[in-house]
């Protein structure tokens, strides 16, 4: 059958050819018209100039005698006769003593005599001297208008355009029709058949009765269709079977792949020679190496820290037994991590290999350590409470007998000894009272309390308890949330922490007490065992004294532990603070660096109140500002480094980590794409955070920097008051601990230059 391709789908070829023919015709005719236009313009210009020369010459000759004889009437008659010509619009006689003749013609053709010649555009002027007997007696000046010349040219141009349109139509239409029926329609038919074949329709055919090249092409198409039909019939069955097999295999692979990728463990398949055969999604996330990059390469290339474990893999393959390595320690981003490694031998298609499974247990171990510490403190509390209770009873017996004995003794020396013994029992009773308060699990006399009000009540007592060389500063926001605590216990806690700060600053210093609203999220809680998510009020007590070692920080909350000399402390002050914060449903964090100072942060749950208080910059996670920039995190504490890295990754940033200033400078040198450095202030090594910031400012002036610290902003501002740049960093630094929302907002503001 004959296939006529739908005309509306393939008009572009006909349009292109028609356009080409039409444009070519118009261009040729336009060139011809332009030539005619140019010739007529030249002819009219020549005629106008000839008229101007003739009239000027006529006047110069005719006016010789009248001007010489001062016959003005004759001169006027001659000028009026000349200006009657259609094109002449101005005639004037100049440079003649006592003679001032000028005639002009307006648009209505009326001739008027004026004192000065006409001044107008589109007028051609010509002047000629009037001579008599070889003497110049004046000048005649004639002006002719171009108006009638332009009107004539315009009429000619319109006529030419009409001629071009008519001729173009008469020439282009037959050519377009000829192209359509002799060239475009046959090609459309062949194109239609080609499209049908491409879409799988082999029933269409082109029947052509022409004996030219297009006819031969149509016959070839018909032969090709028949051949393709035969080939397709042979392939259909084979393709159907293969598709079914591929679909079944693909479904099984996808199912198994989804199972493997959904597992939180790292699963890596290897051959006996160490080449990778399986690489799941968790392996991609941890290593940053894609599955395509890892497959077929040796394990030490794709996962360098497992290169030494190939000996264990070979043992598992050789023995055909599972091999397990528990609590395997390694370092990642400068921090220690732990994992369990299990190697399963397998045999597949005659190839020996194994599957390596890695389970991250870092958080599990951290939680176990925190749990053991909490259990230890709880056990110490119970033990202390039991002993203190019994000891308190004994002290009661001793004190009662001493008081009875005092009433019956009159000897002065004996009375003095009894009084001394009573003072000892009173001191023992006070220590016992502290032990009992440490061991209590429920708060007593808890009430709705504003922390800054309690600080105000103990401010005078603090001033008396501290030396004059210690400056006490307090800073509280206006929208501080209330908490449900025992105000007396809170005052005792503030006093105990302040006295400890005093002992850490024998030569004086700064004691900063401040509070802030905090929203702790799940990520913070996962890195701080013993804490809970929610809204808290953080009370911070900071000093810039001697600081503590890691060993001291581990034991500082235990009862009777003290770093003071004999007779200078009971070791119960911080234990009471710890007991108080646990009874209040909160938790405590300690930041301390040798030679820099110590900050105690007490987190109290926000109490329900009828008055709503805004939480400052805390935002729901769904509205947090994100980014795609590259951030370098610098912190010597592995847990805090992990928190910052997890936060930034969740916000969409690319993250590099460093544990000290030297490592940070090396990372900056290797990665020029870093946009911001997020650094702790207190770090080991030759450079602290602010010195690192100064070095970065010198080497990378455009690089943005955000500081963070557990110490107070006031303290760091005072320490850096000599340097304006460091003062600016200290004022804008992020206060530890920070939530995801606080980091997101502060980081975005720093990157945007706000």
Place 4 in a pLDDT band, splitting at 50, 70 and 90.
very low
Q: Which tens digits make up the pLDDT trace of 257-312?
A: 777 777 778 888 888 888 888 888 888 888 888 888 888 888 888 888 887 777 88
In the predicted structure, residue 432 carries a pLDDT above the cut 50: yes
User: How wide is the angle at C-alpha 638 spanned by C-alphas 260 and 629, nearest 5°?
Assistant: 70
User: How wide is the angle at C-alpha 184 spanned by C-alphas 182 and 188, nearest 5°?
Assistant: 125
The set of residues, in sequence order, having a beta carbon less than 8 Å from that of 524 and lying 6+ positions away, is 531, 533, 643, 737, 739, 740
For 477-484, what is the mean pLDDT? 91
Which range, 224-228, 464-468, 506-510, 612-616, is most confident? Answer: 506-510
Element (H, E) at 339: strand 335-348
The DSSP secondary-structure symbol of 498 reads H
User: How wide is the angle at C-alpha 340 spanned by C-alphas 338 and 345, nearest 5°?
Assistant: 150
- Fold classification of 1-207 is Beta-Lactamase (3.30.450)
Place 443 in a pLDDT band, splitting at 50, 70 and 90.
very low
Q: Which residue has the higher pLDDT, 165 or 391?
A: 165
Percent of the chain with pLDDT over 70: 79
Query: What's the pLDDT score for residue 535?
Result: 92
Q: Which tens digits make up the pLDDT trace of 572-590?
A: 678 778 888 888 889 888 8
Query: What's the pLDDT score for residue 35?
Result: 78
Q: Which of 53-67, 244-258, 313-327, 719-733 has the lowest mean pLDDT?
A: 719-733
Per-residue buried b or exposed e for 590-608, using 16+ beta carbons within 10 Å of the residue's own CB = bbbbeebbbbbbbbbbbbe
Selecting from 2.60.40.3120, 2.130.10.10, 1.10.10.370, 3.30.450.20, what CATH number does the domain 263-360 have? Answer: 3.30.450.20
Place 8 in a pLDDT band, splitting at 50, 70 and 90.
very low
Contact of 233 with 216, CB cutoff 8 Å? no
Place 616 in a pLDDT band, splitting at 50, 70 and 90.
very low
Query: What's the pLDDT score for residue 666?
Result: 93
Selecting from 3.30.420.40, 3.20.20.300, 3.30.565.10, 3.40.50.300, what CATH number does the domain 367-605 have? Answer: 3.30.565.10
**What's the rounded Cα separation, in Å, for the pair 90 and 160?**
33
Place 56 in a pLDDT band, splitting at 50, 70 and 90.
confident
Q: Which residue has the higher pLDDT, 614 or 46?
A: 46
Query: What's the pLDDT score for residue 609?
Result: 63
Contact of 513 with 541, CB cutoff 8 Å? yes
Q: Which of 42-46, 275-279, 369-373, 666-670 has the lowest mean pLDDT?
A: 369-373
Q: Which of 110-119, 548-557, 738-747 has the lowest mean pLDDT?
A: 110-119
Q: Where are the chain's structural domains?
A: 1-207, 263-360, 367-605, 621-751
Place 334 in a pLDDT band, splitting at 50, 70 and 90.
low
Place 618 in a pLDDT band, splitting at 50, 70 and 90.
very low
Which range, 98-112, 611-625, 718-732, is most confident? Answer: 98-112
Within this chain, domains 1-207 and 263-360 share the same CATH topology: yes
Place 433 in a pLDDT band, splitting at 50, 70 and 90.
low
Query: Across the beta sheet with 704-709, what order do the strands follow?
Result: 654-658, 630-634, 676-680, 704-709, 734-735
Q: Which residue has the higher pLDDT, 433 or 598?
A: 598
**What's the rounded Cα separation, in Å, for the pair 690 and 675?**
18
Where do we find the tokens 């994100």? Answer: 626
Query: What's the pLDDT score for residue 450?
Result: 92
For 511-520, what is the mean pLDDT? 90
User: Where does 621-751 sit in CATH, by number?
Assistant: 3.40.50.2300
Q: Which of 347-351, 477-481, 585-589, 621-625 has the lowest mean pLDDT?
A: 347-351
For 681-692, what is the mean pLDDT? 85
Query: What's the pLDDT score for residue 204?
Result: 67
Q: Which tens digits make up the pLDDT trace of 150-193?
A: 777 777 777 777 877 777 777 767 777 777 776 677 777 777 77
- Considering Cα of 325, then 363, then 711, then 473, what sign does the dihedral take? negative
Query: What's the pLDDT score for residue 202?
Result: 67
Which of 737, 670, 731 has its CA nearest to residue 705?
Answer: 731
Q: Which residue has the higher pLDDT, 648 or 188?
A: 648
For 445-451, what is the mean pLDDT? 84
Query: What's the pLDDT score for residue 600?
Result: 92
Query: What's the pLDDT score for residue 706?
Result: 93
Query: What's the pLDDT score for residue 703?
Result: 93
Cross-strand pairs, 337: 330
- Considering Cα of 414, then 417, then 419, then 425, what sign does the dihedral take? negative
Chain center to CA of 588: 34
Q: 553 in the Ramachandran plot: left (φ > 0), alpha (ψ -120 to 50) or beta? A: alpha
Query: What's the pLDDT score for residue 73?
Result: 83
Q: Which residue has the higher pLDDT, 252 or 172?
A: 252
Query: What's the pLDDT score for residue 85?
Result: 78
Which range, 55-69, 301-315, 517-531, 676-690, is most confident? Answer: 676-690
Query: What's the pLDDT score for residue 118?
Result: 59
In the predicted structure, residue 716 carries a pLDDT above the cut 70: no
In the predicted structure, residue 613 carries a pLDDT above the cut 50: no
Kindly report whether the peptide bond that precedes residue 737 is cis, defined as omega within 30 degrees of 0: yes
In the predicted structure, residue 27 carries a pLDDT above the cut 50: yes
Which range, 9-23, 24-38, 222-236, 589-603, is most confident? Answer: 589-603
Q: Which residue has the higher pLDDT, 200 or 13?
A: 200
Query: What's the pLDDT score for residue 38?
Result: 78
Place 136 in a pLDDT band, splitting at 50, 70 and 90.
confident
In the predicted structure, residue 494 carries a pLDDT above the cut 80: yes
The set of residues, in sequence order, having a beta carbon less than 8 Å from that of 601 and lying 6+ positions away, is 538, 539, 540, 588, 589, 590, 591, 710, 736, 737
For 344-360, what is the mean pLDDT? 78
**What's the rounded Cα separation, in Å, for the pair 27 and 153?**
21
- Considering Cα of 146, then 152, then 155, then 157, what sign does the dihedral take? negative
Q: Which tens digits make up the pLDDT trace of 393-419?
A: 676 667 667 766 776 777 888 888 888
Query: What's the pLDDT score for residue 735?
Result: 72
Q: What is the mean pLDDT of the chain?
A: 78
């Amino acid at each position: 059958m004959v296939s006529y391709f739908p005309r509306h789908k393939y008009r572009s070829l006909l349009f292109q050819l028609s356009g080409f023919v039409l444009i070519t015709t118009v261009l040729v005719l336009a060139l011809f018209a332009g030539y005619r236009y140019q010739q007529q313009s030249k002819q009219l210009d020549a005629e106008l100039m000839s008229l101007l020369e003739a009239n000027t010459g006529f006047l110069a000759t005719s006016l010789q005698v009248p001007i010489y004889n001062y016959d003005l009437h004759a001169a006027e008659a001659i000028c009026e006769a000349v200006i009657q010509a259609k094109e002449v619009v101005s005639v004037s006689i100049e440079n003649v003593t006592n003679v001032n003749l000028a005639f002009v013609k307006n648009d209505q053709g009326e001739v008027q005599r004026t004192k000065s010649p006409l001044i107008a555009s589109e007028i051609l002027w010509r002047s000629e001297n009037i001579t008599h007997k070889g003497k110049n007696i004046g000048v005649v000046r004639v002006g002719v208008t171009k108006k009638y010349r332009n009107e004539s040219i315009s009429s000619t141009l319109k006529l030419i355009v009409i001629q071009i349109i008519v001729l173009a139509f008469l020439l282009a239409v037959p050519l377009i029709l000829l192209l359509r029926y002799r060239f475009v329609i046959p090609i459309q038919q062949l194109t239609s058949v080609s499209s049908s074949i491409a879409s799988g329709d082999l029933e269409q055919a082109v029947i052509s009765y022409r004996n030219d090249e297009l006819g031969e092409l149509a016959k070839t198409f018909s032969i090709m269709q028949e051949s393709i039909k035969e080939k397709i019939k042979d392939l259909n069955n084979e393709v159907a079977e293969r598709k079914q097999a591929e679909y079944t295999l693909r479904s099984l692979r996808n199912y198994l792949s989804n199972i493997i990728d959904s597992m939180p463990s790292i699963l890596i398949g290897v051959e006996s020679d160490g080449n990778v055969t399986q690489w799941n999604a968790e392996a991609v996330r941890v290593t940053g190496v894609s599955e395509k990059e890892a497959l077929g390469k040796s394990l030490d290339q794709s996962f360098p820290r497992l290169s030494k474990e190939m000996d264990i893999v070979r043992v598992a393959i050789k023995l055909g037994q599972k091999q397990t390595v528990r609590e395997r320690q390694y370092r990642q981003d400068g921090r220690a991590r732990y994992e369990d490694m299990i190697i399963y031998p397998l045999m597949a298609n005659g190839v020996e290999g194994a599957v390596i499974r890695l389970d991250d247990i870092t958080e599990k171990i951290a939680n176990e350590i925190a749990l053991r510490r909490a259990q230890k403190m709880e056990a110490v509390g119970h033990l202390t409470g039991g002993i203190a209770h019994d000891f308190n009873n004994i002290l009661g017996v001793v004190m009662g007998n001493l008081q009875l004995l005092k009433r019956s003794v009159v000897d002065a020396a004996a009375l003095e000894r009894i009084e001394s013994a009573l003072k000892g029992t009173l001191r023992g009773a006070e220590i016992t009272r502290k032990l009992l308060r440490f061991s209590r699990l429920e708060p007593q006399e808890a009430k709705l309390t504003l922390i800054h009000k309690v600080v105000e009540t103990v401010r005078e007592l603090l001033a008396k308890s501290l030396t004059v060389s210690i400056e006490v500063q307090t800073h509280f926001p206006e929208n501080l949330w209330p908490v449900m605590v025992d105000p007396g216990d809170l005052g005792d806690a503030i006093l105990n922490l302040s006295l400890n700060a005093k002992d850490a600053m024998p030569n004086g210093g700064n004691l900063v007490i401040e509070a802030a609203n905090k929203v702790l999220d799940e990520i913070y809680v996962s890195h701080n065992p013993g804490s809970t998510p929610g809204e808290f009020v953080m009370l911070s007590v900071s000093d810039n004294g001697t600081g503590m070692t890691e060993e001291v920080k581990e034991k500082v909350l235990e009862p009777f532990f003290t770093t003071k000399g004999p007779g200078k402390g009971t070791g119960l002050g911080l234990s009471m603070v710890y007991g108080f914060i646990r009874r209040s449903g909160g938790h405590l964090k300690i930041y301390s660096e040798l030679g820099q100072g110590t900050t105690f942060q007490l987190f109290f749950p926000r109490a329900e109140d009828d008055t709503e208080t805004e939480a400052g910059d805390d935002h729901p996670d769904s509205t947090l500002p994100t980014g795609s920039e590259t951030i370098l995190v610098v912190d010597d504490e592995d847990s805090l480094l992990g928190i910052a890295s997890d936060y930034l990754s969740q916000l969409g940033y690319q993250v590099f980590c460093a544990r000290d200033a030297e490592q940070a400078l090396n990372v900056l040198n290797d990665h020029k794409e870093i946009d911001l450095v997020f650094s702790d202030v207190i770090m080991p090594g030759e450079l602290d955070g602010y010195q690192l910031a100064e070095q970065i400012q010198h080497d990378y002036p455009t690089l943005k920097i955000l500081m963070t610290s557990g110490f107070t902003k006031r303290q760091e501002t005072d320490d850096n008051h000599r340097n304006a740049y460091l003062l600016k960093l200290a004022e804008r630094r992020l206060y530890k601990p920070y939530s995801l929302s606080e980091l997101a907002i502060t980081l975005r503001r720093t990157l945007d230059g706000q």
